[in-house]
Chain A
């Protein structure tokens, strides 16, 4: 079945970087876009950006521009999200989520398959 499996929890110090992976299975990885969304404890979901898994093109939320980098490795069917200059406010669960429509039909922005989430804690 289609699933996304993310890397394990991370604890980082302020100023450090974190890189979260998201391994896809059950479908052709390069034919869908992958989004990243985060959720701080007790807070709303927050969209960070997406990557065209076929050609590697990306778009980022203005809030994270300059601090976030989303990449992919098609040979490993894996997407990555790296966030730098971490601060305590970045403590959150980070999710990858697949776009609902295949890329050939255009980006839908509906997120139909989600990873299990990766808890990132930023603390000195």
Chain B
């Protein structure tokens, strides 16, 4: 079955840039989406179609894609950005959705 791979954790200091990667063989052909999830809450969509930002999401959140890896970048990280981040995409032939294992972003 298709898998998306994320690092389990990323740590940065306030004001720095956090980069969270997600790797998968189908990513050159399929869009990726990113979600932020805080404890006890439902996920929030922060990036769709690799790099588009939904309305209401701060400009410090951006997404990019290169080959089999997509990256969520959070510039000027703030304490409120501490959360779990999940990538999501579609398998090679577009039959089902898959989520990555999640990355816990810790603000030092």
Residues of A bordering B, CB below 8 Å: 35, 37, 44-47, 59, 61-62, 95, 97, 100, 108-112, 114-117
In Å, the complex CA distance between A112 and B88 comes to 13
Shortest 6 CB-CB contacts between residues of A and residues of B? A110-B48, A47-B97, A114-B42, A45-B99, A110-B33, A112-B45
Q: Could you say which of B42, B54, B86 contacts A95, with CB atoms under 8 Å apart? A: B42
Interface residues on B, range: 20 to 34
Interface Cβ pair total, 8 Å cutoff? 61
B48 A115 Cβ-Cβ under 8 A: no
The smallest C-beta distance from A102 to any residue of chain B, in angstroms, reads: 14
A45 B43 Cβ-Cβ under 8 A: yes
Chain B residues in 8 Å Cβ range of A45: 35, 37, 43, 86, 88, 99, 102
Interface flags, B35-46, vs A, CB<8A=1, else 0: 101000011110
A116 B98 Cβ-Cβ under 8 A: no
Given contact pairs A109-B88, A114-B43, A47 touches B33 in the complex (Cβ within 8 A): no
A47 B43 Cβ-Cβ under 8 A: no
Chain B residues in 8 Å Cβ range of A95: 42-43
The smallest C-beta distance from B102 to any residue of chain A, in angstroms, reads: 5
Most chain A beta carbons < 10 A, residue from B31, B33, B97, B99:
B97
Given contact pairs A45-B88, A45-B99, A112 touches B54 in the complex (Cβ within 8 A): yes
A109 B90 Cβ-Cβ under 8 A: yes
In Å, the complex CA distance between A44 and B100 comes to 7
21 CB < 8 A contacts A-B: A44-B99, A44-B102, A45-B35, A45-B37, A45-B43, A45-B88, A45-B99, A47-B97, A47-B99, A59-B96, A61-B97, A100-B48, A109-B88, A109-B90, A110-B31, A111-B43, A112-B45, A112-B48, A114-B44, A115-B42, A116-B42
- Name the residue on B nearest A112 (C-beta): B45
B49 within 8 A of A: yes
Chain B residues in 8 Å Cβ range of A46: 99
In Å, the complex CA distance between A35 and B48 comes to 16
The smallest C-beta distance from B88 to any residue of chain A, in angstroms, reads: 7
